[in-house]
C-alpha cells in the first residue's frame, strides 16, 4: 500500500516586477517514492540582495535533483542537511561580492511519517479536523521594527543552522506551505477560514494567493497545499523509530490466531531468532520471524531484525523470499513466504556430489542472485549450502539475511567474524571490512563443496585461527572435472582476494562461455594447479641425479 497524496500550488507576483518566490514538488516513481518519499518545497528569495530569485530557484533545483541521488540508506534529515549545507556555501560563493539569500521550507512525506527542514520566514501549517497548527518558526529578529529582518537564511552565514521536525502522518490531514507575502497579510484566522470554506486544494491555494493581494500585500505570494489521502507503509527508518513502542510477540502456540495470522507452530529456535510457520485466510503459508524473549531489550538485535526485513524488500525478486506487505503490526516481527523445496545442504546429504550439469545450472543462478545483491550495495556474509533453497518450482533462492551488511545502514561488523568458519574468507579472519570478494569466496567454497564433498582449505572449526595456503585441486576428488572449470574454482577460493573474480558477473561470464573464456595465457601455473605432481617430479629428478653422481663416484 503506497502513500497517496493530492496537492496544489499557486504563486503570483503582485505589484513587484519579478516573482522571487519558488515552489517545487517532486513525485517520483513508486519504488523511489517508497524509499525516499515525496518532496514539497517553497523558497522566498531575499530581494534586497544580489539575486533573490536565483537563490530561491537554484536551491529548489538542487533539492529536486540531488535529494533523490543520495543513498537510500541515509535518513531524510541527513540527506536534506548535507545538500543544504553544500548549497549554502554555493550561495555565499556566487553572489559576485553580494550575498545570495533565500528562505526555505522543505517537506518530505514517506510511508507514514513526515520530515520538515526549515530556515527563514516561510511558514508551514498542519490542517486537520478544522484546526490550523503552525509547525515552523519564523527566524526573524524580535525587536520592534525588525520583525521582517531575517536572522537565519540560506547564504547568510558560513555555518547553516536548520530546524528539523519529524512526525507521524494522519489520514486526511493537510500541510500548507506559505511565503510571507500570504501569511503576514492574512493572519492565521483568515487562513483557517479560507481552508474551511474551500475544501478543493486548487481552489484553496488560488484563493489564499489572491486574497493576500486583495488585502494589500505588496510582496510575492505563494502557497502549496498537500493532503494525505492514504497512508503508506513504514520504511526501515520509520520502523526503527517505533522500536521502543513495539513489544515482541508473546509465545505463539499451534491453533492460535495472532494479528490476523493462523499459527501452525514453531519450526526453528536459536539464540538469535524464533521462526514460526503461519498461514493467512487464503491458506498461503508464511514464515514469521521474531526474536526470543532474552533479546527483548537488545536494541542492536531489534534493529538487525528490521534491517533484515528492509534488505529483503529492497532485493525483491525471484532469487529471494517474498516479504509480506501490508497489514498493521503491533509487535516486532516480519513475514516471508515459505517455499516448498530443499536446501542445497539437504540435496547434497541426500544425493552426494552434484552432477556437472546440475552443478553449473545452480552455480549460474547463485551468481546472478549474488550479483544483484552487490549491485544494490548488500553483502550477504553467510552464503553456504544451508542458506540456499532449491524450490520445487526450480528456482534457487538465497535465505537468511541475518548477517547481511549494507554500508550506511548496518553497524560496522569488521570486528565480528560472519557466518560459518569454513566459508569465511581469509582476509576476514584478519579483521578486514566486508567486501564483495568475501561473498564470492563463500560462493566458491559452496560450489567446491557441492562438487567434491570437501573444503578447498580443509574444514575450519569454530574459534580456530587457520593458516591458508594453496587450495587443493578439486580434480583430486572429481577426475571428471574439465580443466577450465578447475581453474575457475581455484581462482574463486584463492587466499589472496586480488586473485579472485572482481564481480559475480565476471565469474558468471566465465561459466557461461566455458572453455573459450577460461583458458587464457593467464591460466594458473602448473605449480598452483598440481603442486603434488610437481614436487613428486622434482623429487624423482633429484633422486636420479643423486644416483648418477653416486655411480660416478664409485667408478673412481
Q: What is the pLDDT of residues 350-371, one digit of tens each?
A: 999 999 999 999 999 999 999 9
Cβ 481 vs Cβ 363: under 8 Å: no
Cell numbers standing for residue 30: 513508486
Q: What is the pLDDT of residue 520?
A: 40
DSSP SS3 for 104: strand
Query: What's the length of the chain?
Result: 556
User: Using 50, 70 and 90 to split pLDDT, how confident is the model at 556?
Assistant: low
Closest listed residue to residue 124, CA positions, set 155, 87, 164: 164
- Nearest Cα to 313, choosing from 335, 332, 333, 297? 335
So what's the pLDDT on residue 1? 67
Residue 1 DSSP symbol: -
Task: For residue 42, give the nearest of 221, 227, 170 by alpha carbon.
Answer: 221
Output the pLDDT for position 555.
72
Q: Which CATH superfamily is domain 238-337 in?
A: Phosphorylase Kinase; domain 1 (3.30.200.20)
Compute the average pLDDT of residues 239-253: 77
Sheet containing strand 123-128, edge to edge, reads 4-12, 221-230, 174-178, 123-128, 131-134
Residue 519: predicted pLDDT: 39
Q: Are 357 and 363 in contact (CB under 8 A)?
A: no
Give CA–CA dist 450/493, Å, rounded: 14
Percentage of the chain beyond pLDDT 70 is 88
Q: What CATH number has the domain spanning 4-233?
A: 3.60.40.10
Which range has the worst mean pLDDT, 44-53, 108-117, 405-414, 523-532?
A: 523-532
pLDDT at 381: 92
Res 374 pLDDT > 60: yes
Split at pLDDT 50, 70, 90, the class of 528 is low
Report the mean per-residue pLDDT for the chain.
Answer: 87
pLDDT (tens digit per residue) in 319-328: 999 988 766 6
User: Residue 522: pLDDT above 50?
Assistant: no
Per-residue pLDDT at 309: 85
Q: What is the pLDDT of residues 82-117, one digit of tens each?
A: 899 999 998 988 877 777 899 999 999 998 899 999
pLDDT band at residue 299 using 50, 70 and 90 as cut-offs = confident
* Long-range contacts from 340-343, C-beta under 8 angstroms, 24+ separation: 340/391, 340/392, 341/389, 341/390, 341/391, 341/392, 341/393, 342/389, 342/390, 343/385, 343/386, 343/387, 343/388, 343/389, 343/390, 343/399
164 pLDDT band (50/70/90 cuts)?
very high
* Mean pLDDT, rounded, for 416-444: 88
Alpha helices in 261-355 (DSSP H): 299-314, 344-351
**What does CATH list as the number for 341-524?**
1.10.510.10
Is residue 91 a contact partner of residue 137, using CB atoms and an 8 Å limit?
no
Give the cell for residue 346: 539437504
**CA distances, 177 to each of 171, 196, 205, 221, 384 (Å):** 18, 16, 10, 11, 53
Amino acid at each position: 500500500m503506497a502513500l497517496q497524496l493530492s496537492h496544489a500550488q499557486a504563486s503570483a507576483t503582485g505589484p513587484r516586477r519579478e516573482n522571487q518566490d519558488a515552489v517545487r514538488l517532486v513525485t517520483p516513481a513508486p519504488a523511489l517514492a517508497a524509499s525516499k518519499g515525496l518532496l514539497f518545497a517553497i523558497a522566498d528569495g531575499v530581494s534586497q540582495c544580489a539575486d533573490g530569485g536565483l537563490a530561491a530557484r537554484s536551491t529548489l533545483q538542487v533539492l529536486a535533483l540531488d535529494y533523490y541521488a543520495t543513498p537510500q540508506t541515509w535518513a531524510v534529515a541527513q540527506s536534506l542537511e548535507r545538500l543544504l549545507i553544500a548549497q549554502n556555501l554555493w550561495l555565499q560563493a556566487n553572489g559576485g561580492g553580494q550575498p545570495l539569500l533565500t528562505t526555505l521550507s522543505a517537506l518530505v512525506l514517506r510511508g507514514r511519517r513526515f520530515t520538515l527542514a526549515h530556515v527563514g520566514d516561510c511558514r508551514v501549517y498542519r490542517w486537520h479536523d478544522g484546526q490550523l497548527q503552525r509547525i515552523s518558526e519564523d527566524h526573524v529578529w524580535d525587536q520592534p521594527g525588525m520583525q521582517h529582518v531575517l536572522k537565519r537564511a540560506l547564504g547568510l552565514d558560513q555555518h547553516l543552522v536548520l530546524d528539523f521536525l519529524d512526525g507521524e502522518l494522519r489520514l486526511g490531514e493537510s500541510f500548507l506551505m506559505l511565503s510571507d507575502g500570504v501569511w503576514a497579510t492574512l493572519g492565521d484566522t483568515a487562513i483557517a477560514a479560507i481552508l474551511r470554506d474551500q475544501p478543493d486544494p486548487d481552489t484553496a491555494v488560488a484563493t489564499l494567493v489572491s486574497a493576500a493581494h486583495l488585502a494589500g500585500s505588496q510582496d510575492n505570494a505563494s502557497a502549496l497545499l498537500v493532503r494525505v489521502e492514504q497512508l503508506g507503509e513504514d520504511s526501515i527508518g520509520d520502523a526503527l523509530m517505533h522500536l521502543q513502542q513495539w513489544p515482541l510477540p508473546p509465545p505463539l502456540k499451534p491453533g492460535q490466531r495472532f494479528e490476523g495470522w493462523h499459527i501452525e507452530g514453531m519450526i526453528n529456535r536459536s539464540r538469535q531468532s524464533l521462526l514460526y510457520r503461519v498461514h493467512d485466510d487464503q491458506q498461503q503459508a508464511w514464515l514469521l520471524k521474531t526474536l526470543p524473549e532474552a533479546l527483548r531489550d537488545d536494541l542492536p538485535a531489534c534493529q538487525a531484525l528490521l534491517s533484515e526485513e528492509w534488505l529483503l524488500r529492497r532485493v525483491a525478486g525471484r532469487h529471494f523470499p517474498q516479504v509480506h506487505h501490508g497489514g498493521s503490526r503491533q509487535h516486532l516481527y516480519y513475514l516471508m513466504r515459505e517455499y516448498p523445496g530443499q536446501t542445497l545442504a539437504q540435496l547434497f546429504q541426500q544425493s552426494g556430489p552434484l552432477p556437472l550439469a546440475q552443478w553449473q545450472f545452480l552455480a549460474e543462478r547463485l551468481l546472478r542472485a549474488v550479483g544483484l545483491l552487490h549491485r544494490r550495495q548488500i553483502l550477504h556474509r553467510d552464503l553456504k549450502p544451508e542458506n540456499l533453497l532449491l524450490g520445487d518450482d526450480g528456482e534457487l533462492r538465497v535465505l537468511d539475511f541475518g548477517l547481511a551488511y549494507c554500508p550506511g545502514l548496518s553497524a560496522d561488523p569488521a570486528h565480528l567474524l560472519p557466518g560459518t568458519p569454513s566459508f569465511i574468507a581469509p582476509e576476514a579472519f584478519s579483521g578486514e571490512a566486508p567486501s564483495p570478494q568475501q561473498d564470492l569466496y563463500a560462493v566458491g567454497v559452496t560450489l567446491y563443496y557441492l562438487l567434491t564433498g570437501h573444503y578447498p582449505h580443509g574444514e575450519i572449526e569454530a574459534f580456530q585461527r587457520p593458516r591458508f595456503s594453496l587450495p587443493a585441486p578439486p580434480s583430486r576428488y572429481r577426475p571428471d572435472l574439465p580443466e577450465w572449470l578447475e581453474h575457475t574454482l581455484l581462482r574463486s577460493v584463492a587466499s589472496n582476494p586480488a586473485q579472485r573474480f572482481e564481480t559475480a558477473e565476471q565469474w558468471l561470464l566465465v561459466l557461461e562461455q566455458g572453455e573459450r573464456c577460461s583458458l587464457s595465457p593467464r591460466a594458473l601455473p602448473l605449480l598452483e594447479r598440481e603442486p603434488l605432481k610437481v614436487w613428486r617430479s622434482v623429487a624423482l629428478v633429484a633422486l636420479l641425479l643423486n644416483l648418477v653422481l653416486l655411480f660416478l663416484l664409485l667408478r673412481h
